[in-house]
Amino acid sequence: MQTGQGYAIEDKTMRMTMEKTKRRVKISSIGVYVPPKILTNADLEKMVDTSDEWIITRTGIRERHLADESQATSDLCLEAARRALDQASLKIDDVDLILVATSSPDTLFPSTACWVQKGLEATEIPAFDLSAGCTGFLYGMIVAESLILNGTCRRVLLIGGELLSKITNWKDRATCVLFGDAAGAVILEESPDESGIISFFWQADGRLADLLYLPAGGTRRPASEETVRQGLHYISMKGNEVFKHAVRRMGEAALEALKRAGLKPEDVTHFIPHQANIRIIEATGERLKLPPEKVYTNIDRYGNVSVASIPLCLEELRAGGKLKKGDIILMDAFGAGFTWAAIVYRW
C-alpha cells in the first residue's frame, strides 16, 4: 500500500486474495436535482459573441440548466439528498455524516453541508465541505470509503452540488457557455458482497492552481469595490491549458486505478468521465481504447456541472435500467487545483 495512492498491489496472487476478501463500500442509493430552467446555445448567441455551431463543435454542449435567483447551492443539494434518502427508504437519522463536495458554497462559512443539515433538520451529526474542484465527488467517495471501513461512520450522505451560474461572468464567452447548475447525492455504506469500490487513484498539483480559479472573495484578495469592478469574483480559466492537462491526467488516473484493481480497460462495462468537454471525453475514451458505446455522455444536455456530473450520469444509467449487477464502472474526473481521480467500482 502506498500512502495516499490507494492500493498498489504488485503481486498477482496477493491481488486475487485481496479481491476475494476485501471489504467494500457501495452506493446504496442516488438522488439528483437539476433546476428546471434551461439556457440553450441560441439563448447564449443573444448574450455574447458566440454561435451554436462553435459551442457544439468545441464543447459538445447544446443546453444547460440554471438555478433561479432565489436558490443557493444548499437548496439544490437538499433536493438531491431528499431523493437519495427516499430511494433508500432512509431518514436522515440513519446517516452518520453529511459531506458536501462543492466549489460554489452558499457562504465561505459555515459549510454548505451545515446549511444542508439545517434543511434536513439533522442535528448533531457531523457535516463538512470538501473542496477539490470538479474532482470533489470522487474525492468524497474516497474519503467516505475510508471513514466507513475504519468504523467511524456506518452511512455517509455524500452530495456533489454546484451553482456555478452565480460565479460565472455572463459577458465572458470563453467560460459562460460551459457551465450549468445541478446536484447529485449518494448514500454510501459497507457492502454485503463484492459490489462497491474496488480501487482508486487520486492526485493534485497546486502549482497549476491559477489556471482555473476564483481570484477574489477569499483572504488572498478580499472583496472590494476594485475586485468587483474587475469581475474577479467570477471563474477565471485558461481553457486550452486546462484542456491539455485534463486529457493527460484523466487518462493516467483511469489506467492507474484499473491497474490497482487488477483490471484492464476491456473489463470496463461503463466509463463515466467528468463531463467538461466532449473532446476531453473522447480523447480519454480513445486513450483507453474503449468503444464509444461504453463511454457515457450527457454533456449535451447539462454542460459542465462540476461535482454533480458523475452522480448525474450514474443516476441516468441506473434509471435507464442499464446498470447490471457485476458491471465494472470506471469513474474519472479532473478539476481545479488541479485535482484528478479515478475509481473502479463493481455495481
Summarize as ranges the residues that interact with ligand COA (CB under 6 A): 50, 54-55, 58-59, 134, 173-174, 177, 212, 237, 239-240, 242-243, 246, 276-277, 304, 334-335
CB of 11 to ligand COA, least distance (A): 36
Is residue 274 among the annotated active site residues? yes
Q: Which of 77, 277, 304, 313 is catalytic?
A: 304
Grid coordinates of 230 = 474587475
CB of 61 to ligand COA, least distance (A): 9
CB of 67 to ligand COA, least distance (A): 19
Smaller CB distance to ligand COA: residue 64 or 259?
64
Q: Which of 77, 114, 134, 313 is catalytic?
A: 134
283 half-sphere exposure, CB direction, 13 A CA radius: 18
Smaller CB distance to ligand COA: residue 173 or 221?
173
Which of 80, 52, 60 minimizes the C-alpha distance to 296?
Answer: 60
Name the residue number minimizing CB distance to ligand COA: 239
Q: Are 189 and 17 in contact (CB under 8 A)?
A: no
CB of 244 to ligand COA, least distance (A): 9
CB of 84 to ligand COA, least distance (A): 24
Q: What H or E segment, with its residue span, contains residue 165? A: none
Residue that the C-alpha cell 446517516 belongs to: 95
Is residue 134 among the annotated active site residues? yes
d(CA 7, CA 33): 33
Sheet holding 270-273, edge to edge: 196-204, 339-346, 328-335, 270-273
Which of 253, 250, 214 minimizes the C-alpha distance to 235?
Answer: 214
Smaller CB distance to ligand COA: residue 102 or 191?
102
Q: Which of 114, 270, 274, 277 is catalytic?
A: 274
Smaller CB distance to ligand COA: residue 170 or 264?
170
- 127-130 and 212-213 beta bridge pairing: unpaired
Smaller CB distance to ligand COA: residue 179 or 200?
179
On the 0-12 / 13-18 / 19+ scale of CB atoms within 10 A, 225 is exposed
Residues 6+ apart with CB under 8 A from 123: 117
Is residue 77 among the annotated active site residues? no
Q: Are 32 and 182 in contact (CB under 8 A)?
A: yes
Which residues are known to be catalytic?
134, 274, 304
